């Protein structure tokens, strides 16, 4: 099975794993999230009452660029970088405005247009996000589920922190019982009482300010990082199994390091009994000593005899295949010997 670390290296984040960012336009607070690629983008905007979504890809994207900025000549990647930075890190000359439209021409909440005016290489640059109302499933996947996950995780962390503080109090009490005193009186702390702490938090001015802000600070830098980590873990848990996950057996890091050091090979690693398709023959058979029921392992020379005529094989491919087969055979023999030793010492 593919490990989570390996999966994270290959996984391409979707819009759901991109964190929200708070922005204020014309005195109204919005949450916005987006995902940019080399030739497309997705954006989701909400005022916590309505949700709007837009996805724009290559051809439609180029048309809008030409319509809004006919005098600017730049690569699509450069323009997308400009659009993203204007939202994520707006500069002084960047201005934002919001308008609403409907298919009937009347102003309502059916469509939202977020207009950005900025500077690209000293020239005026304009961009309009034109987003339609998002469906309820998108709202759930991008806000409700992530927020519930964040609340659960923060609650779990608070309980763990309470345990840490209580254990610290026990440690301090042990020191005091041995006559140890603090060097400065003002750094001495009272014993932690969870109920008293919770009541103090509820009566504090910061609690009132937090309620007034209605969670506008939930997606500060720390909140964005927590959101990203939760949704990445959520994607890992709900990933779709693939044939590669079911069949591909990977070497552990220690064995790979040993083999690479002995052989001095810098070639790619392959799972047990799996060779690159470009160099495998009609069959790839396991070594005879490890799996007696399979047919004997074929040498590179005998495998070459099965290569169709008219398809020349370079010497480098022979050498590469031979090295890989030797490495696989040694690894299998090593695992086999380890299993035999375990059986001998078993009681």
Q: Which tops the pLDDT comparison, 293 or 212?
A: 212
pLDDT band at 130 (very low <50, low <70, confident <90, very high): very high
> What pLDDT was estimated at residue 339?
62
- Among residues of the chain, what percentage have pLDDT more than 90? 44
In contact, 55 and 42? CB cutoff 8 Å: yes
Average pLDDT over residues 127-151: 93
> What pLDDT was estimated at residue 253?
45
Q: Which tops the pLDDT comparison, 54 or 279?
A: 54
> What pLDDT was estimated at residue 173?
92
In contact, 134 and 44? CB cutoff 8 Å: yes
Beta strand residue intervals within the chain, DSSP E = 21-25, 28-36, 41-46, 51-56, 95-101, 111-120, 123-133
> What pLDDT was estimated at residue 52?
96
Q: What is the mean pLDDT of the chain?
A: 78
Long-range contacts of 201-208 (CB under 8 A, 24+ apart): none
**Chain centre distance of CA 254:** 26
Which residues of the chain does CATH 2.170.210.10 include? 20-134
Query: Could you give the CA distance from residue 116 to residue 297 in angstroms, rounded to a whole number?
Result: 65
Query: Could you give the CA distance from residue 173 to residue 53 in angstroms, rounded to a whole number?
Result: 57
> What pLDDT was estimated at residue 79?
93
Structure tokens at 60: 């439609």
Query: Could you give the CA distance from residue 324 to residue 336 in angstroms, rounded to a whole number?
Result: 18
Q: Which tops the pLDDT comparison, 49 or 278?
A: 49
> What pLDDT was estimated at residue 274?
43
> What pLDDT was estimated at residue 102?
67
> What pLDDT was estimated at residue 193?
92
In contact, 235 and 14? CB cutoff 8 Å: yes
pLDDT band at 104 (very low <50, low <70, confident <90, very high): low
- φ, ψ of residue 174 to 5 degrees: the values are -65, -40
- Among residues of the chain, what percentage have pLDDT more than 70? 70
Quick one: CA dihedral 193, 199, 203, 208, positive or negative? positive
pLDDT band at 105 (very low <50, low <70, confident <90, very high): low
Q: Which tops the pLDDT comparison, 110 or 256?
A: 110
> What pLDDT was estimated at residue 50?
93
Pick the CATH number of 20-134 from 1.10.150.390, 2.170.210.10, 3.10.20.740, 2.170.120.40: 2.170.210.10
Average pLDDT over residues 24-46: 93
Residue 132: half-sphere exposure toward Cβ, Cα within 13 Å: 5
Q: What tens digit of pLDDT does each residue of 37-92 get?
A: 999 999 999 998 999 999 999 899 999 999 999 988 889 999 999 999 999 888 88
Average pLDDT over residues 224-243: 86
> What pLDDT was estimated at residue 201?
92
pTM exceeds cut of 0.85: no
Out of 169-173, 184-188, 220-224, 249-253, least confident range: 249-253
pLDDT band at 171 (very low <50, low <70, confident <90, very high): very high
Structure tokens at 151: 């609340």
Average pLDDT over residues 142-166: 94
Q: What tens digit of pLDDT does each residue of 284-328 get?
A: 444 444 444 444 444 444 444 444 444 444 566 667 677 777 777
């Amino acid at each position: 099975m593919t490990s989570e670390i390996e999966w994270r290296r290959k996984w391409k984040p979707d819009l759901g794993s991109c964190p929200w960012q708070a922005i204020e336009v014309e005195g109204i607070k919005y949450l916005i999230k987006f995902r940019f690629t080399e030739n497309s983008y997705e954006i989701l905007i909400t005022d916590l009452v309505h949700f709007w979504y837009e996805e724009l890809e290559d051809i439609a994207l180029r048309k809008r660029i030409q319509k809004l900025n006919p005098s600017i000549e730049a690569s699509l990647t450069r323009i997308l970088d400009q659009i993203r930075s204007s939202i994520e890190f707006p500069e002084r000359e960047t201005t934002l405005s919001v308008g609403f439209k409907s298919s009937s021409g009347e102003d309502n909440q059916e469509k939202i247009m977020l207009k950005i005016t900025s500077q690209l290489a000293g020239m005026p640059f304009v961009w309009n996000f034109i987003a339609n109302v998002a469906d309820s499933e998108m709202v759930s996947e991008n806000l409700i589920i992530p927020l519930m996950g964040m609340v659960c995780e923060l609650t779990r962390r608070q309980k763990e922190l309470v345990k840490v503080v209580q254990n610290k109090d026990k440690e301090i009490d042990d020191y005091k019982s041995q006559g140890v005193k603090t060097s400065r009186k003002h750094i001495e702390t009272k014993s932690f009482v969870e109920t008293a702490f919770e009541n103090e938090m509820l009566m504090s001015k910061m609690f009132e300010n937090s309620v007034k802000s209605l969670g506008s600070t939930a997606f500060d830098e720390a909140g964005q990082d927590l959101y990203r980590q939760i949704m990445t873990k959520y994607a890992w848990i709900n990933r779709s199994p693939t044939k590669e996950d079911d069949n591909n057996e990977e070497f552990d890091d220690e064995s790979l390091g040993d083999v690479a050091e002995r052989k001095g090979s810098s070639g790619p690693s392959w799972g047990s009994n799996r060779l690159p398709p470009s160099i495998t023959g009609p069959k790839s058979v396991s070594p005879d000593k490890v799996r007696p029921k399979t047919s004997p392992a074929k040498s590179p020379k005998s495998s070459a005899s099965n290569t169709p005529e008219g398809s020349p094989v370079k010497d480098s491919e022979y050498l590469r295949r031979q090295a890989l087969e030797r490495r696989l055979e040694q690894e299998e023999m090593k695992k086999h010997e380890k299993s035999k030793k375990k059986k001998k010492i078993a009681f």
